[in-house]
Amino acid sequence: MHEGEEDFLIESRPFEVPLPPPVPGPHDRVMFIRGEGAPEAGTKEHEDIMLRRVPRETAMRFRAAAGGRSMTHAQYLAALVELHRRARERADGGDDELRRELDELGLTSVTV
């Protein structure tokens, strides 16, 4: 674990948020929201993540880069993860300049 990394570890568990107070005025409609229930283990196609304590400049650049490409934050993050995978593959395949750049950023090869 790198220095400061503990700030980004969040326990994975459901959380509850109270409903906001009702809108003032007459209420002649009732809405029921029903979820599909918890998915079976290993069947989730998507995950929800929350990032805390992201440096302001990084967060602003991330949002601008995603929005400028008409991508959601999730799509942009997925593209960055794929870009890193491809760059790491090239670096591990002998591209020493790319390896040095990735290592300088702390993106050394790891086995997951």
All structural domains of the chain with their residue ranges: 74-107
- Which tokens sit at 21? 């107070």
Q: What tens-digit pLDDT sequence spans the chain (112 residues)?
A: 455 555 555 566 777 778 877 777 776 666 666 666 666 777 778 888 888 899 999 999 999 999 999 999 999 999 999 999 999 999 999 999 999 999 999 999 887 7
In three state form, how does the secondary structure of 16-27 look? CCCCCCCCCCCC
What letters, b where the CB count within 10 A reaches 16 and e where it falls short, cover 77-108? eeeeeeeeeebbeebeeeeeebbeebeeeeee
